[in-house]
Chain A
């Protein structure tokens, strides 16, 4: 089991009346950046980078950054910049960029170049994730959601070819045209840095990730649903005649470990609620704009019949496996159960939950590393039959 520290870098200082959902339908897209105080923001970035560096120092296998735009939910419009900031301050952990939202890029060749540079800066410790970008980001960057998947596919093909085939070559695609593709540097890892792709139940994504032997990562869903995703990915791989290694299946999960079970819940509750009730307050319209989902994926989503995140109580979030909170023993047991049920070999633990203060994140990271990680590493992940 690989255990990684996943940071979203949220902006925690929401206005006092943020629970007024008419006034603030979401912390994303339309939530005015007048609420971003640069004097606070500057400290936040450095604090968050410290947290990632600390995670390496206490033994996490990887540290994870991601990309979001125009949102208080996550303040990393460029994950590559964060990866660069971490590259020379760390020396052992895999730096996971999870990932670049390639459909949003007007020029995906720039992603190929930046990742190749990062691969050198990290001396080959880089994992390159590719994501679609959330619906609201297609509003924010004026990218047609109906083109999102085909832009993703084409940008991926272009980037991979730019990494792996000697240039110069030309590229004539539906969305991108280049007469000279010849990136300097080429990546350090050969043939290219490992690739991970998050999925949210889309059968096309499962199939595609399996075809490419990439790592498939889940986020924010009940255990019963995540199981169908991972099973779908394994089934797609089986169709292709192979069994994916457990490390090719990753689960992103907010986790809080307290001194004991009761104090953990007492402490964590408000931050879990911040994440799901404020950070993830987002109407279906901005998450799945028209054209963003294929009919099959939309049908699957309707069938799953999931409640919107803000409608889930703290108890439901725990019960259905959206988050794990408890004392060391409870968290060890719960994560062990999830691992055995779902068969993931890569945990992206989100230990900075919502507006959680620095001291608490530090303690969470420390206890998690000391009391939980060794046990997770001891027992091998099993593939559920």
Chain B
């Protein structure tokens, strides 16, 4: 990405040292700090959700190791490693307590962070989160999907699928996507996008939690959001209707409003 590609409103990329390399993050806004943990496809993104969060708080939006503009940090292998990575990041930024918003893969990291160190999390949002092992309602095997199949699994609105597939990707885009998915594989190939221990530890989360489910999620069955909402003590489930797994990619205004409302309540 060059500077001319960046919306003038996009805050600059900052870099922060971590074990084995650096990670990239953007930071904007004032007020209570908010940590946004992105989905597998959501690295290096600055859109309505980020703008909305930066409007109500001090938003820190990092790219996970191996994703987007962050280095690989190849010694990290598990979501548990990412929990320690983010605790280090919060310590490094001097943030004692944050709101955490995690989407899909980022939701899994957010849940693990909140149950590991409940005192570090003031409010929690889990959007179309993965991470639970529910054998009777498994997450679809996105690794087996070709790009059209994946787009159809991510978006409910066929027009969005068509738009996403209309432009032939450049080599750099293909390589960037392959790298992001490779990082997802590193953390989530086996066990497949789940931590078998997650469910029985969710009771440790103390933050008031908004569990967002996409009404038409073709990747993550509804049972996952329901289970999160059941097992986290102070949680409520909100379903975003007519929306695919991409959540704020498909219904940015509605999703952003729900998240902002929860953080402000």
B143 CB within 8 Å of chain A: yes
* Known A144-B190, A146-B189, A291-B186: A139·B174 in contact at CB below 8 Å: no
| Chain A minimum-CB-distance residue to B75 | A174
- The contact of A293 among B141, B178, B190, B192, by CB within 8 Å, is B178
Q: Are B186 and A146 in contact (CB under 8 A)?
A: yes
Bound complex: CA of A285 vs CA of B150, how far in Å? 11
| Inter-subunit contact A290/B143 (CB<8 Å) | yes
Task: Check: B171 CB closer than 8 A to any chain A CB.
Answer: yes
A290 to B150, CA, bound (A): 13
**Beyond A139-B144, A142-B189, 13 additional pairs, beta carbon < 8 A:** A144-B189, A145-B182, A146-B185, A284-B146, A285-B143, A285-B145, A285-B146, A291-B183, A291-B185, A291-B186, A295-B179, A302-B175, A303-B171
Any A CB within 8 A of the CB of B164? no
The answer, yes or no, to whether A289 is at the interface (CB within 8 Å) is: yes
Chain A nearest Cβ from B24, distance in angstroms = 17
Number of interface residues of A (CB under 8 A): 22
| Subset of 13 A-B contacts with CB under 8 Å | A138-B189, A139-B143, A142-B190, A144-B185, A144-B190, A146-B186, A290-B143, A290-B183, A291-B186, A292-B182, A295-B178, A299-B175, A302-B174
Knowing A285-B143, A285-B145, A289-B143, the reply to whether A144 touches B186 (Cβ < 8 A) is yes
A145 x B174 contact (CB < 8 A): no
Tell me if A225 is interfacial: C-beta within 8 Å of chain B: no
User: Which residue of chain A has the shortest Cβ distance to B176 in the bound complex?
Assistant: A295
On B, residues with C-beta under 8 Å from A are 77, 141, 143-146, 171, 174-175, 178-179, 181-186, 189-190, 192
CA distance A293 to B144 in the complex (A): 16
Q: Which residue, B77, B171, B184, B185, has most C-beta atoms of chain A within 10 A?
A: B185
Q: With A and B bound together, what is the CA distance between A144 and B189 in angstroms?
A: 6
> Does A143 have its Cβ within 8 Å of any Cβ on chain B?
yes
Instruction: Evaluate contact between A298 and B175: CB separation under 8 angstroms.
Output: yes
From B146, B175, B185, A145 is in contact (CB under 8 Å) with B185
Contact of B190 with A302 in the complex, beta carbons under 8 Å: no
Contacts of B189 on A, CB cut-off 8 Å?
138, 142-146, 291
Asked if A286 and B144 make an inter-chain contact with CB atoms under 8 angstroms apart, the answer reads: yes
Minimal Cβ-Cβ distance residue in B for A144: B189
- Residue A166 CB within 8 A of the other chain: no
Which residue on chain A has the smallest CB distance to residue B178?
A298
Q: A residues within 8 Å of B by Cβ?
A: 138-139, 142-147, 283-286, 289-293, 295, 298-299, 302-303
Sort A-B residue pairs by CB-CB distance and give the 4 closest, nearest first: A290-B181, A291-B182, A146-B186, A144-B189
Main secondary structure of the interface of B (DSSP, over half): helix
Assess the A289–B185 pair: CB atoms within 8 A: yes
CB pair B181 A295 closer than 8 Å: no
A167 to chain B, nearest CB (A): 29
Chain B residues within 8 Å of A139, by CB: 141, 143-144
CA distance A369 to B145 in the complex (A): 44
- Establish whether residues A143 and B185, one from each chain, have CB atoms under 8 Å apart when the complex forms: no
Hey, which chain B residues are within 8 Å of A291, CB to CB?
Answer: 181-183, 185-186, 189
- What A residues does B175 contact at CB under 8 A? 295, 298-299, 302
Closest CB in chain A relative to B116 CB, distance in Å: 23
B residues less than 8 Å from A302 (CB atoms): 171, 174-175
- Quote the shortest CB–CB distance from B75 to chain A (angstroms): 9
Task: Compute how far the CA of A235 lies from the CA of B179 in the bound complex, rounded to whole angstroms.
Answer: 28
Complexed CA–CA distance, A158 and B45 (Å): 43
Which chain A residues lie closer than 8 Å to B192 at the CB level?
142
Determine the distance from Cα of A295 to Cα of B146 in the docked complex, in whole angstroms: 19
Nearest B residue (CB) for A143: B190
Residues of A within 8 A of B144 (CB): 139, 285-286
Q: Which of B141, B145, B189 has the most CB of A within 10 A?
A: B189
Nearest to A283 among chain B residues (CB) is B146
Q: How far is the CB of A210 from chain B (nearest CB, A)?
A: 24
Q: List the B side residues contacting A144 at CB < 8 Å.
A: 185-186, 189-190
| Chain A: CB-nearest residue to B186 | A146
Which residues of B sit under 8 angstroms from A284, Cβ to Cβ? 146
Please tell me which one of the listed residues A283, A293, A299 contacts residue B171 in the complex, with CB atoms under 8 A apart.
Answer: A299
Per the bound structure, the CA–CA distance linking A303 and B171 in Å amounts to: 9
- B185 proximity list for chain A (CB < 8 A): 144-146, 289-291
Q: Which residues of A contact B181 (CB under 8 A)?
A: 290-291
Judge whether B182 and A146 touch: CB under 8 Å: yes
Q: Nearest Cβ in chain B — how far from A26, in angstroms?
A: 10
